[in-house]
């Protein structure tokens, strides 16, 4: 590919996959699930036993791995890579079975439904069942890395704040004691890191900067990296755009048409589109770099010109991330 990727100065970030829990978030439509899946795939290919967990049961994770529906019980979808979908009712059942030593086969269905009803109003109950399951897997150590396709940027702070909220609202009880070790895991940058996915567009960049600030002020979770997805290539090298404009000038077009054997109008328009798209997005990239802490690496994933989404795209994003991480 003749395209060049412009790289921003950045720190080496080989330690991203050394963490135990990576929470991936981003505004809707930026490719959050693909990036989470790609990080998980990359980790598994590097020999780590990896669990990928989808928090919103939309089936997007199954789609990017091109596998059948995922469920609460994890399933190996690639070598060393397991996938699961969060289900708070199942999480509650597992919790009750583990904590209260209820036999797994016990009829806790009605009980779980009752809890579910309470959770419609009681703050943090659903969130704690999600965060709790993830933290539990980290603590159990059955996996080297847990990658979470998490809630969208607008919801994630509320989710992370759940252990703290429960801690404040619930004065006694089993769950209060348990929020403590969850908070320990979430607050340890050696174990837990947030990854925000953005595209170089206005709203995703704004939300990324806002979330970075909120993470700092409202949570104890460390921002591990920002992945900038769909970065368009710089079409022309130095001096080449002038050459292009000369070739594409109205009086030169007939010659160009002749050389190509057909009407090149759309080709010229497409080149201008590529240049314009790249240029308007460069401003958002600059804002993003200035808007997050200099110590937080920005990882660039190129725009993929693919005929389909799915596993092929997941592999390509994974390769791009590997290159950015210096593997």
Partner 1 sequence: MERTERPRQASIEQLLAAKEIVVACGSGGVGKTTTAAALAAMAAARHGGKVLVLTVDPARRLADALGVQALGNDARRVPAAAFADAGAPARGELWAAMLDTKQSWDDLVREHAPDRRTARRILDNKLYENIAGRFVQSHEYIAMERLYDLHNEGTYDLIVVDTPPTRNALDFLEAPERMAEFFSSKFLRVLTAPARSRVISIASRPFFTVADRVLGSQFLEDIAEFFSLFQTMAPGFVERARAVSRLLRDHRTTYVVVSTLEAAPLHEAEVFVDAITAKGFHLGAVVLNRVLPPYLLDERAGHAAGVLADDPSSAAAALANADGSGDEAQVARVLTEVAESFLRFQVVAQREAEQRSELSVATDVVVAVPYFETDICDLTGLLRLGEQIWT
Residues 165-184 interacting with partner 1 (rule: CB under 8 A):
165, 169-176
CB-wise, 14 or 266, nearer to partner 1? 266
In whole angstroms, the minimum distance from the beta carbon of 15 to partner 1 comes to 29
Judged by CB under 8 A, which stretch of 42-50, 184-192, 234-242, 293-301 contacts partner 1?
Answer: 234-242
Judged by CB under 8 A, which stretch of 17-25, 78-86, 291-299, 306-314 contacts partner 1?
Answer: 306-314
For the segment 84-123, give every residue that binds partner 1 (CB under 8 A): 96, 99-100, 110-111, 113-115, 117-118, 120-123
CB-wise, 193 or 200, nearer to partner 1? 200
For the segment 3-42, give every residue that binds partner 1 (CB under 8 A): 3, 27-34
- Token look-up 């010229």 returns 268
Chain centroid to CA 280: 24
Specify whether the CB–CB gap between 128 and 166 falls below 8 A.
Answer: yes
For the segment 242-281, give every residue that binds partner 1 (CB under 8 A): 243-244, 246-247, 252, 255-271, 273-274, 276-277, 280
For the segment 139-158, give every residue that binds partner 1 (CB under 8 A): 151-152, 154-155, 158
Distance in angstroms (rounded) separating the CA atoms of residues 285 and 75: 37
Alpha helices by DSSP H, listed for the chain, are 32-45, 60-65, 88-99, 109-121, 125-140, 153-169, 174-187, 202-218, 240-248, 253-260, 265-291, 311-324
- Nearest partner of 148 among 158, 162, 133, 161, judged by Cα: 133
Judged by CB under 8 A, which stretch of 38-46, 74-82, 188-196, 197-205 contacts partner 1?
Answer: 197-205
Distance in angstroms (rounded) separating the CA atoms of residues 268 and 310: 31
CB-wise, 59 or 69, nearer to partner 1? 59
In whole angstroms, the minimum distance from the beta carbon of 48 to partner 1 comes to 26
Distance in angstroms (rounded) separating the CA atoms of residues 46 and 6: 26
CB-wise, 47 or 59, nearer to partner 1? 59
In whole angstroms, the minimum distance from the beta carbon of 183 to partner 1 comes to 18
CB-wise, 46 or 257, nearer to partner 1? 257
CB contact set of 260 (below 8 Å; sequence gap of 6+): 267
Distance in angstroms (rounded) separating the CA atoms of residues 82 and 193: 20
């Amino acid at each position: 590919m003749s395209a060049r990727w412009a790289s921003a100065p950045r720190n080496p970030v080989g330690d991203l996959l050394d963490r135990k829990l990576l929470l991936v978030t981003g505004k809707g439509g930026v490719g959050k699930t693909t990036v989470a899946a790609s990080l998980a795939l990359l980790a598994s290919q590097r020999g780590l036993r990896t669990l990928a967990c989808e928090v919103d049961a939309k089936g997007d994770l199954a789609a990017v791995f091109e596998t059948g529906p995922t469920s609460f019980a994890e399933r190996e979808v690639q070598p060393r890579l397991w996938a699961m979908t969060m289900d708070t009712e199942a999480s509650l059942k597992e919790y009750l079975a583990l904590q209260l030593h209820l036999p797994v086969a016990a009829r806790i269905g009605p009980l779980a439904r009752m809890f579910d009803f309470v959770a419609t109003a009681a703050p943090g109950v659903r969130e704690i069942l999600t965060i709790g399951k993830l933290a539990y897997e980290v603590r159990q150590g059955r996996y080297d890395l847990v990658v979470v396709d998490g809630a969208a940027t607008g919801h994630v702070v509320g989710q992370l704040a759940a252990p703290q909220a429960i801690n404040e609202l619930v004065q006694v009880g089993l769950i209060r004691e348990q929020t403590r070790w969850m908070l320990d895991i979430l607050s340890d940058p050696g174990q837990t890191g947030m990854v925000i996915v953005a595209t170089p567009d206005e709203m995703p960049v704004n939300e990324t900067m806002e979330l970075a600030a909120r993470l700092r002020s409202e949570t104890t979770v460390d921002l591990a990296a920002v992945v900038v997805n769909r970065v368009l290539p710089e079409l022309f090298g130095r001096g080449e755009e002038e050459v292009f404009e000369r070739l594409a000038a109205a009086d030169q077009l007939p010659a160009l048409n002749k050389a190509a054997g057909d009407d090149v109008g759309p080709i010229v328009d497409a080149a201008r589109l590529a240049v314009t798209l790249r240029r308007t997005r460069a401003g958002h990239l600059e804002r993003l770099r200035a808007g997050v802490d200099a110590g937080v690496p920005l990882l660039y994933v190129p725009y993929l010109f693919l005929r389909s989404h799915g596993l092929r795209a997941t592999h390509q994003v994974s390769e791009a991330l590997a290159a950015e991480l210096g593997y």
